[in-house]
Structure 1
Amino acid sequence: MKKILFLLLTVFTVSTACSHTPKSSVEVAQAEGSKVIHLTEAEFLQKVYDYKKNPDEWVFAGDKPAIVDFYATWCGPCRQVAPILEELAKEYDGKIVIYKIDTDKEQGLAAAFGIRSIPTILFIPQQGKPQVAQGALPKEELKKAIDEFLLGGK
């Protein structure tokens, strides 16, 4: 009887572990209470810009203006900007989307955008071409870019 109970417990544990559906970065961010969304290259291609399909023309895939923060976990200035981006993501919830790309994990994506210095922040308006800023920008400058460039003074 103990062997059967052990066997059933083992089968149940393995089946529940194997049936786990991986969560998207959006689901993980929401579960953690974060409004900033960490993207993989595949998610970037789908949600932001598929540079493989459209290498010569910027075609934004999003439905709201966006910010993309290219960062690394070991980068001091990146760690300074992270809480500011969290605050801005909450302040501008529903108006813009803020994404993060870990350049160590997504080296191909960073290379495709020529990221040589971090943090590098990409401001993507709904229409038109994105603008790039490098370095740890203060909150006031980020808000100005959001209000004037992304939202057009709205």
Structure 2
Amino acid sequence: MKKITLVLVSIMIVGTSCANNKVKDNEKSEKTEMSQQQKKDNKMKTIHLTKADFLAKVANYEESPESWKYLGDKPAIIDFYADWCGPCKTIAPILEELAEEYDGQIYIYKINVDKEKELASAFGIRSIPTLLFVPMKDKPQMANGAMPKATFVQAINDILLKE
């Protein structure tokens, strides 16, 4: 575990026709656009969590404070962020892309530390962004700072999706 954490930390980079046919064609075009938009809308996006959501979907640390028991059915990344944080804004679109690319394989959760102070405190969040990589069977691993997409992909493959 220390080795994986060291690898993760070492690769982190802060960063910051006719009238009738025309109408029919327009209707078909609109339906196609709507269908494409619906498919896009159905893609996985990052999921914002409140403390209550966290306790139900991720881990109920109040019920079992002495041990970590992940409640999810897929591995997860949890992004502790704030709206005013520059590096948080830098990685937000990367996390959205990853949520679409790894749709069905992992969850990407976001926790606003300004709105969920108790949750941030429970995890000892002192700087943001702080990312918690939560595999299905192992203990979660924490990383601080912004990372490039390639580093996220490596962490997802090495920590979350490893067999």
Q: TM-score, normalised by structure 2?
A: 0.73
How far has the Cα of 1:90 moved from its partner? Answer: 0.4
Which aligned runs of 4 or more in structure 1 are off by greater than 2 angstroms?
Answer: 30-34
Counterparts of residues 91-106 of structure 1 (less than 5 Å): 91-106=101-116
How far has the Cα of 1:55 moved from its partner? Answer: 0.4
2:54 maps to a residue whose letter is F
Alignment check: 8 A CA contact 2:44 2:103 kept: no
Counterparts of residues 73-152 of structure 1 (less than 5 Å): 73-152=83-162
1:103 maps to a residue whose letter is V
Structure 2: unaligned runs, 5 residues or longer:
1-39
Match of 2:49 among 39, 51, 74: 39
Structure 1: unaligned runs, 5 residues or longer:
1-29
Q: 2:54 & 2:91 partners in 1: Cα distance?
A: 20
Say which structure, 1 or 2, has more relative contact order (CA 8 Å, 6+ apart): 2
Secondary structure at the counterpart of residue 90 of structure 1 = helix
How far has the Cα of 1:62 moved from its partner? Answer: 0.2
Match of 2:67 among 57, 60, 70: 57
CA RMSD in angstroms comes to 1.6
Alignment check: 8 A CA contact 2:134 2:141 kept: yes
Q: What is the number of equivalent residue pairs in this alignment?
A: 124
Identity %: 60
Q: 2:42 & 2:100 partners in 1: Cα distance?
A: 13
Q: TM-score, normalised by structure 1?
A: 0.77
Q: 1:54 & 1:115 partners in 2: Cα distance?
A: 20
Go from structure 1 to structure 2 and tell me whether the alpha carbon gap of 1:102 and 1:89 turns closer, same or farther (over 3 Å shift): same
Go from structure 1 to structure 2 and tell me whether the alpha carbon gap of 1:43 and 1:98 turns closer, same or farther (over 3 Å shift): same
1:106 maps to a residue whose letter is E
How far has the Cα of 1:128 moved from its partner? Answer: 1.2
Go from structure 1 to structure 2 and tell me whether the alpha carbon gap of 1:149 and 1:99 turns closer, same or farther (over 3 Å shift): same
